[in-house]
């Protein structure tokens, strides 16, 4: 797993560069944004690997490679301020950080050795330590998430000595272990995400190349399995989206920096962008340096991809590409970036992006434009307003 990163610019045989002139870039990426606030997590060498934002958008939690959990306040001006530099210090690496969806003061952090902590950020105190009481040895945790109504916590595991990978479920209110799934993946489970509005819908992704979608209201794992997508390569992260017709989509970023998009109900592949295509959309020249950080929703039936270049330790390029009708279009350019970005959050309400990465910096960019708001859907996407006919495939199990 990712611990003490190094820039990959030495691996590139040809230096990465913009593929067009500065004048063309300004025309394509109509917003060139400079940092509104930036703060260093530590004077010592560290890397920001995980970041989460409260439901009121005024608090950000950052998990560092130094096994420390920090808390930052986002002031109304957009300035970042350290709130708690040592909310948590652990024996093993942080694997996930999540705020509750309806309570801005409750925060969950999971660590590699299987510990899952619940914090009250107001007091800076640990409220509860979730314990896996399933059979066998303590599981090695790889990620965690909380469902929409803040009732269920899920933590995923790496492959254990018996060859199984686990999805562990906990009742947050009752503070107890509910049970687990262990037949759905054959390798390390890298990411888990609950649906943003349906508390029972849940997706997991793995090194085995599978994205599985479950309905956790069902009594058994076999019944809970609803859909399965075979990406055929190791998956790093997943996210939920909604298209202009209201269909649920799942995106995934692979370990080779490709982006896949699937229609959940029909199980159809909607779009695939390999890293060469993403590099071209960013108007860069070196695909080997392409770094896809992740995806974020605009909240209007559209989403964007945050991507950059690993060349020159990430300082050359950090840009967003807006997804529209199976295309990735130039969107925004974030100037003044000083690191290879590893994690980010986006506030669509106030339109700012916060990112952290390999230099241990937490940087906030204000994206709001003066004048009309960011276009939600262009003419190509408007054609999708007509409901599409989809073919339903048999469930994989």
Task: Enumerate the H helices of the chain as residue ranges.
Answer: 22-28, 221-224, 275-282, 379-382
> Which residues partner with 248 through β-bridges?
242
Residue 300's pLDDT is what? 75
Asked if 152 and 169 count as a contact pair (C-beta separation under 8 A), the reply is yes
Asked if 60 and 70 count as a contact pair (C-beta separation under 8 A), the reply is no
Q: Span 75-82, mean pLDDT?
A: 94
Q: Which two tokens stand for residue 384?
A: 């999708």
Distance, C-alpha 279 to centroid of its chain: 20
Asked if 237 and 253 count as a contact pair (C-beta separation under 8 A), the reply is yes
Q: Render the burial of 90-126: b for 16+ CB within 10 Å, e for the rest.
A: beebbbbbbbbbeebbbbbbbbbebbbbbbebeeeee
Is the pLDDT score of 391 beyond 80? no
Residue 376's pLDDT is what? 44
Burial class (CB in 10 A: 0-12, 13-18, 19+), 160: middle
Is the pLDDT score of 397 beyond 70? no
Distance, C-alpha 372 to centroid of its chain: 28
Residue 369's pLDDT is what? 58
Q: What is the pLDDT of residues 244-277, one digit of tens each?
A: 888 999 999 999 999 999 999 999 999 999 999 9
Q: What is the pLDDT of residues 163-212, one digit of tens each?
A: 899 999 999 999 999 999 999 999 999 999 999 999 999 999 999 999 99
Residue 13's pLDDT is what? 63
Beta-strand relationship, 31-33 and 327-334: parallel
* Mean pLDDT of all residues belonging to the chain: 90
Residue 394's pLDDT is what? 35
DSSP sequence for 214-275 = EETTSSSHHHHEEEEEE-SS-EEEEEEEE-TT--EEEEEEETTS-EEEEETTT--EEEEE-H
Cα 327 to Cα 379: distance, rounded to the nearest angstrom? 13
Cα 375 to Cα 302: distance, rounded to the nearest angstrom? 9
Helix (H, G, I), strand (E, B) or coil at 300: coil
Beta-strand relationship, 225-230 and 235-242: unpaired
Domain residue ranges in the chain: 22-366
Per-residue confidence band for 47, with pLDDT thresholds at 50, 70 and 90: very high
pTM score, two decimals? 0.89
Residue 11's pLDDT is what? 53
Name the helix (H) or strand (E) containing 144: strand 141-146
Cα 239 to Cα 226: distance, rounded to the nearest angstrom? 17
The listed CATH number (1.10.3720.10, 3.40.50.620, 2.130.10.10, 3.30.1490.190) that belongs to domain 22-366: 2.130.10.10
Q: What is the torsional sign of CA 140, 129, 108, 228?
A: positive
Q: What is the pLDDT of residues 343-372, one digit of tens each?
A: 999 999 899 999 999 999 999 999 875 444
Is the pLDDT score of 395 beyond 90? no
Q: Which two tokens stand for residue 321?
A: 């590409």
Of 246 and 19, which is predicted with more confidence? 19
């Amino acid at each position: 797993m990712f611990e003490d990163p190094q820039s990959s610019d030495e691996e590139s045989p040809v230096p990465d560069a913009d593929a067009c002139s500065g004048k063309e870039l300004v025309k394509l990426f109509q917003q060139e944004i400079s940092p509104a606030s930036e703060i260093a997590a530590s004077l010592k060498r560290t890397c920001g690997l995980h970041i989460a934002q409260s439901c009121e958008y005024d608090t950000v939690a950052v998990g560092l490679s130094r096994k420390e959990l920090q808390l930052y306040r986002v002031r109304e001006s957009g300035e970042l301020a350290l709130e708690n530099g040592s909310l948590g210090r652990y024996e093993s690496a942080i694997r996930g950080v999540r705020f509750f969806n309806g309570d801005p003061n409750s925060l969950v952090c999971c660590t590699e050795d299987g510990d899952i902590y619940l914090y009250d950020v107001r007091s800076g105190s640990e409220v509860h330590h979730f314990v896996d009481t399933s059979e066998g040895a303590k599981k090695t945790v790889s990620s965690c998430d909380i469902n929409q109504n803040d009732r269920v916590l899920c933590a995923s595991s790496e492959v254990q000595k018996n060859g199984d990978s686990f999805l562990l479920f906990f009742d947050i209110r009752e503070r107890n272990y509910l049970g687990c799934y262990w037949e759905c993946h054959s390798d390390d489970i890298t990411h888990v995400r609950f649906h943003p509005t349906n508390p029972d819908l849940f997706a997991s992704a793995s090194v085995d190349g599978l994205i599985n979608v479950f309905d956790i209201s069902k009594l058994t794992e076999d019944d809970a399995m609803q859909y399965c997508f075979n990406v055929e390569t190791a998956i790093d992260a997943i996210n939920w989206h909604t298209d202009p017709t209201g269909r649920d989509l799942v995106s995934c970023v692979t370990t080779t920096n490709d982006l896949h998009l699937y229609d959940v109900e029909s199980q159809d592949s909607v779009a695939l962008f390999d890293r060469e295509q993403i590099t071209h959309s960013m108007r860069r020249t070196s695909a080997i340096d392409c770094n896809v950080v992740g995806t974020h929703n605009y909240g209007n039936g559209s989403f964007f991809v945050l991507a950059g270049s690993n060349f020159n330790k990430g300082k050359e390029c950090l840009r967003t590409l807006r997804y529209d009708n199976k295309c990735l279009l130039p969107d925004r350019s974030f100037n003044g970036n000083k690191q290879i970005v590893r994690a980010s959050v986006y506030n669509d309400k106030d339109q700012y992006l916060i990112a952290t990465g390999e230099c241990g910096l937490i940087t906030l960019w204000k994206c709001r434009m003066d004048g009309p708001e960011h276009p939600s859907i262009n003419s190509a996407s408007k054609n999708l307003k007509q409901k599409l006919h989809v073919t339903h495939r048999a469930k994989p199990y």
